[in-house]
């Protein structure tokens, strides 16, 4: 599981996808979410504005598993 460090309290799913290099631009987030299966903490998620917090686990089918890590 790949750890994704953030420097703020939360990051949106769209920002997360860009930060991890899954997509190149923020504008691709809506398309990507409609075409790929993403699970947030075991539940399906398709909202690009969904806030991700420290400890959240994201699984992108065919791409990988990630965990959000924020400063304490």
Interval 5-17: pLDDT, tens: 999 999 999 999 9
Q: Is the pLDDT of residue 72 over 80?
A: no
- Contacts (Cβ under 8 Å, ≥6 apart) of 27: none
Class of domain 2-69: alpha beta
Per-chain mean pLDDT for the chain? 93
Domain extents in the chain = 2-69
**In this predicted model, what pLDDT tens digit does every residue of 18-37 receive, in sequence order?**
999 999 988 899 999 999 99
Q: Strands across the sheet with 57-60, in order?
A: 2-5, 64-69, 57-60, 38-40, 43-44
């Amino acid at each position: 599981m790949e750890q994704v460090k953030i420097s703020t309290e939360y990051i949106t799913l769209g920002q997360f996808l860009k930060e991890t290099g899954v997509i190149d631009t923020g504008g691709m987030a809506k398309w990507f979410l409609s075409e790929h299966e993403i699970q947030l903490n075991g539940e399906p998620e398709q909202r690009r504005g969904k806030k991700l917090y420290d400890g959240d686990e994201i699984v992108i089918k065919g791409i990988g598993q990630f965990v959000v890590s924020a400063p304490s």
